[in-house]
Structure formats: C-alpha cells, structure tokens
Structure 1
Amino acid sequence: MGNQMKFISWNVNGLRAVLKKDFMDTFNALDADFFCLQETKMQAGQATLDLPGYQQYFNYAERKGYSGTAIFAKHEPLNVTYGIDVPEYDTEGRVITLEYPKFYLITVYVPNSGQELKRLDFRQGFDAEFRKYTSKLAETKPVIYCGDLNVAHNPIDLKNPTSNHHNAGFTDEERNDFTAQLDAGFTDTFRHFYPDQKDIYSWWSYRFGARKRNAGWRIDYFVTSKALDDQLADAKIHDEIMGSDHCPVELTVNGLD
C-alpha cells in the first residue's frame, strides 16, 4: 500500500449533480487511496461510476434523494459494515465502515439539526451513539473517520460566530458533543497541524454570494484516534475546488500499510 496513504472526504450535495460538473476531473486529479462522499442523494442504480482500480461502496437512505454516503477505495477491505447498528439512526444511509489490517475507515454524514433546531434531539442522540461506536472500534485498532459533521467546533471555524450562536451547526450542544468525541481519544486533524489558521472553511451557503466573500464554516473533518498522531503527515482543505456547496478535505497518513 505504499508508505503514505491519502484520504479525501467530500460532501458532494448530490452525486448525480456533481457528475455533470467536474467530478471525474477532480477525482482523477486528487488521486486518493480513499475517496469518501456524503450527501450522495441517490438510490441504487441511479448513477454508475467507472473507477478502474477502486472498490465502490454505497449506503443509501430509505428516503429518495436524501442523505447517503459512499467510499471509493483502492484497497480491498477485510470487512464492510453499513450504519452503526442502531436502527433509529440507520435508515438514512449515514455511515459506512471499512476495516483494514491496521485501521478502520468511516465516512459519516452527521444529521443537521435543521431549521429552528427541530432535529437537535435526534442529532444529539446520533452523536452519542456514534461516539460509542467509534470508541468501541478504537479499542481494537485506530479509527480514521471523516465527513460532514455539521458542526463548527470553535469560533475560529466560522466567519460569523456571534450571529450564528444557537443556529444549527454552532449550538453549544453540538459543539460540546464534538468536544466529548475528541476527549474520548480523538484528534481534529486539521487543527492538529493548523491550530490558529483563520478564514479557512469547507462549506458556504449558496445564498448571499457567501463563497465569493468566503463567509463560510469549517464543518467537514478528518478525525483520527490519538494513537495515530505521530503518523499524521498533513491535512488540507481544498477550497479552490468547486462543484458543491462544500469543498473536499484531505488527510495524509504514514505507515498504515
């Protein structure tokens, strides 16, 4: 598998839509070992990708055109699981886990708390179960998880923290849940390398020309077991890549083969 592995995570906001744009050019240019997607918004058979050299894994939501995740992997996994084994949270296609000899890889699309925080309780329930799930796996071997976590952890992670306080993605509850996840033995890899980097975001509203003004949020992450801290090589946010309201984020890790 080579000494360094490259991982990409991207909320594509509809895989069929992004395939009509420059998805394949981006996919080929990034040339990752693992390409994790969120919000594929499709059912089985609605899109076919020709990705020579990659295994393709999809988890679809029961509801059409909603949620959904995928992983495209250059390396054959030992095992593949879908969901977190909690029926209440496993109908929306939010989680895929691939097991490898030295690590687990998870793509996750964390529920959005929604307008007026209508789904905050559901979201917090998911956060708690996902924390249990990742902590249990980490007892066996290190975990690398990535995706749209729908939370800006700290004020540095969004353009307008004051006006967005108590809005979905920047509530005290969601931020505290993410802190609890990190406290359980995990690393926010981008902040590991760039603790003070400002004005770097992974999502921008389609409204008000937010992306042109870089009025964004950092809500897409790679989070890894602390056991891997010494093997982390770099983390990047590809805010130059268009095609979705999110941009891809990247992690490179040494010595996973």
Structure 2
Amino acid sequence: MKLISWNVNGLRAAVKHGFVTTFNELDADFFCVQETKLQAGQIELDFPGYYQYWNYAERKGYSGTAIFTKHEPLNVTYGIGVPEFDDEGRVITLEYADYYVLTCYTPNSGGELKRLDYRQQWEDAFLTYINSLSANKPLIFCGDLNVAHENIDLKNWRSNHHSAGFTDEERTKFDRLLAAGYTDTFRHFYPDQTDIYSWWSYRGHARDNNSGWRIDYFITSQQLDSQLLNARIHNEIFGSDHCPVELDIILPNH
C-alpha cells in the first residue's frame, strides 16, 4: 500500500499549481491532505475510485484536513473527542478491520510562541486519543506535525532553538510520543540522513537554498515495523511550501 501526506497550504491554490496532476501521478491508496483552508462546497474534486472525507475548521480559510482513499473504511471519526480542540478540523480517522489510518494537522505554536500552551495541551490530548486507538489495533498517522524532532531535521537548528516547531517543549512531547510505542518511519529507514526536508519558508529563497525543516511525518505503531517497506520525501514536487511525504507498507487489502 502507498500512502501520501501533503500540507497543501490552501487546496484551492494547490489545484491551480498542479495538485490534480500530482495526485494522479502519485496514485496512492491513501492521500491525506492538511491545511485545506476551505469550507464545504468551496471545491469539488472528482477522483474516480476514491472515497473522500473532509474535516473543516469552523473559522473560514483556516486549517482543515481531508483524506482520499481507494479503500472504504468501516468507520470515520472527525476530531479527537475534545471539544476545545475539535473546531479547527485537524484530525480524521479511518477505521479498517486490522488498522487505523489517521491524518493530523498539529497546531503551530505561532509567533512569539503565543499558542505554545495550547499546543502542549493538544499534544497530551492527541497522545491520549491515539493510545486509545492503538489499544485496539495498530495505527498509521501522518501529517504536518509542526515539529522538527532532531537537529538534523532542520537546516539552521542553532538559530531556531527557541522558534515555533523546534522548542525544547515541542521536541520533548515528540520524544514522549515515540516512546509510547510509535515509529518515525523516515528515520526508521534513514536514521542519519541529512539535508532532506519537507517544508521551506517562502522567505529568503529558502527552497532554492534547501534551508528547510522536516515537519511532515508518517508515524506508525511499532508492531507494524516489520511491514514497513520504505518512506520517502518528495522534495522534487512543488505546489505548496511543503512537499508530499510517502509511506509504503504491507497492509491487508480490504
């Protein structure tokens, strides 16, 4: 099975920059999208053979997620069951007989870390949620998690030590998540790989200089480690300030 995750930074804008062509070329079993920035009825995408699931933020032009899949789920859940976190359209969970697939757009701590406390509370609630799922069956979750975990996950780590996405608090929460029984699939295959990123600022010719951050992930329950085939970061694909990331894994075809 091939799974793709992409923060498109506005799906309507991405469609104008080749999203549909990229979608068709990648031909994924699951195509997960974050930061759709739209409401119901504002876009219509016709992808034959795919089921579509959307979670919209209450605030217009903000956040939002979607999953396109060739495999009809048994059940679909929107959000994590915590009202103060579920009005921004950040999580969709698909349940299958033997596993879950979940997409997530983690809150950004923001300029001057104004949302860091909110982000920390989110992390706790999200981990509780995924742990409740993984107690039943393994899960695959993906998305823009808005954290560069280690120094090798961003170009300028020294100067960004206290920036949103690379604070000690955020990285510690990610440590705790992995320690709870989850695998960062890209690092599973490429533990020491440097200079591979999934997001670049629009400022300062960052993408031209490959001055980026790896903040988009596929995370899996550790019991799926033996089924992992490969993880990729498609930094050759444009259309957003993020690029798509991919997971190839052996899963039952329901």
TM-score, structure 2 length as denominator?
0.99
Tell me the residue number matched to 2:168: 172
> Considering only aligned residues, what root-mean-square deviation do their CA atoms show, in Å?
0.5
1:116 aligns with 2:116: no
C-alpha contact (below 8 Å) 1:190/1:236 kept by paired residues: yes
List runs of 5+ in structure 2 lacking aligned partners: none
1:141 aligns with 2:137: yes
SS at match of 1:131: helix
C-alpha contact (below 8 Å) 1:55/1:76 kept by paired residues: yes
Tell me the residue number matched to 1:230: 226
1:14 aligns with 2:14: no
Tell me the residue number matched to 1:217: 213
Tell me the residue number matched to 1:66: 62
C-alpha contact (below 8 Å) 1:157/1:217 kept by paired residues: yes
Separation of aligned partners in 1, 2:69 and 2:143: 15
Residue 57 of structure 1: how far off its partner (Å): 0.4
Identity %: 70
Tell me the residue number matched to 1:52: 48
One-letter amino acid matched to 2:116: L
Residue 102 of structure 1: how far off its partner (Å): 1.1
Query: Among 14, 30, 37, which residue is 1:34 paired with?
Result: 30
Separation of aligned partners in 2, 1:198 and 1:33: 28
Separation of aligned partners in 1, 2:17 and 2:234: 17
One-letter amino acid matched to 1:102: D
Give CA deviations for 1:229-251 in whole Å, capped at 9, x if unaligned. Answer: 00000000000000000000000
One-letter amino acid matched to 1:29: E
TM-score, structure 1 length as denominator?
0.98
Separation of aligned partners in 1, 2:165 and 2:251: 34
SS at match of 1:224: strand
Name segments (4+ residues, structure 1) moved above 6 Å: none
SS at match of 1:179: helix
Separation of aligned partners in 2, 1:197 and 1:54: 34
Give CA deviations for 1:55-98 in whole Å, capped at 9, x if unaligned. Answer: 00000000000000000010000000000000010000000000
SS at match of 2:202: coil
One-letter amino acid matched to 1:110: T
Give CA deviations for 1:161-192 in whole Å, capped at 9, x if unaligned. Answer: 00000100000000000010000000000000
Residue 256 of structure 1: how far off its partner (Å): 2.9
Separation of aligned partners in 2, 1:126 and 1:117: 14
List runs of 5+ in structure 1 lacking aligned partners: none
SS at match of 1:161: coil
Tell me the residue number matched to 1:75: 71
Tell me the residue number matched to 1:160: 156
Residue 20 of structure 1: how far off its partner (Å): 1.0
Tell me the residue number matched to 1:85: 81
Give CA deviations for 1:125-174 in whole Å, capped at 9, x if unaligned. Answer: 11110001011100100010000000000000000000000100000000
Query: Among 196, 199, 204, which residue is 1:208 paired with?
Result: 204
Query: Among 168, 191, 196, which residue is 2:192 paired with?
Result: 196
Separation of aligned partners in 2, 1:96 and 1:252: 20
SS at match of 2:159: helix
SS at match of 1:58: strand
Query: Among 104, 122, 136, which residue is 2:100 paired with?
Result: 104
Separation of aligned partners in 2, 1:92 and 1:232: 31
C-alpha contact (below 8 Å) 1:103/1:256 kept by paired residues: no
Residues paired across the two proteins, number: 253
